[in-house]
Amino acid sequence: MGLLLFGVAKDIAGAALVGIPETVTNVAELKQWLYDRYPAMQQLSSLMVAVNREYAGDTQAIGAGDEVAVIPPVSGG
């Protein structure tokens, strides 16, 4: 399963797309996996996850076939 990264999250990971292990089955587990692998992400004022282009809560399931993205604090406008 692939994970899209944007903004500062992309810079921290050093990649716009990383693979995530199959043991990650929901948003909460994804965030924990990110914090473990990229401790600098814990410093962000917020870290949202989007599943299929929608902001997703911690309990939302993710699996193969989902488009999953890390959304650091947005700063458009």
Partner 1 sequence: METLIAIRDTITVQEALDFIQSPECGGEVIFTGTVRNDTRGRGVTKLFYECYEAMALSEMQKIADQVQARWDIKKLAMLHAIGDKYPGDIAVVIAVASAHRGIAFDACEFTIDTLKETVPIWKKEFFTDGGIGQ
Among 14, 19, 65, 77, binds partner 1 (CB under 8 A): 77
Does residue 69 belong to the site contacting partner 1 (CB under 8 A)? yes
Whole-Å CA distances, 38 to 9, 18, 65: 9, 12, 24
Interface mask (CB under 8 A) for partner 1, residues 10-29, using x and -? -x------------------
| β-bridge mates for residue 18, sequence order | 3
Among 1, 4, 18, 20, binds partner 1 (CB under 8 A): 4
Cβ nearer to partner 1, comparing 13 with 50? 50
